[in-house]
Structure 1
Amino acid sequence: MTSLLPVPLPGSGAVRVHPAPEALPQLRHEGPGRNRFDDPHGSFLMRYTAENLRGCLIETMARFRPNSAADELLAAVDFVGADVDPPMRTVSAVADWLAKQRLGHVTLVTPHPLLVDIEAADLLVELDTHPLVREAIENSPLRDGPNSVRLDAGLIRLGADIGRPITQAVSRALHELHPEVDGIAYWSRIDSSERCWAIYGHVPVDVSITDLSAENPLHRSAVRAAAALLKVPLPPAWR
Structure 2
Amino acid sequence: MAAMDITRGTRRSRNNSRRRGILGIESAIVMIAFVVVAAALAFVVLNAGFGTTQKSKTTISEGLKSATGAVEVAGLVTGGGNSSTGKLLYYSIPIKLASGAGEVNLQQALTAVKYFSKSVNYDNIYVGTARDSSNASYADVMSMFADVKQADCTYDPSVAATDAINNSGSFQAPAKTCAIIWWSNSIQNNDILDGGEVAVLTIVFESNDQPEQLDVLHSELIISGGSVLTVERSVPVITTSVVNLG
TM-score relative to the length of structure 2: 0.28
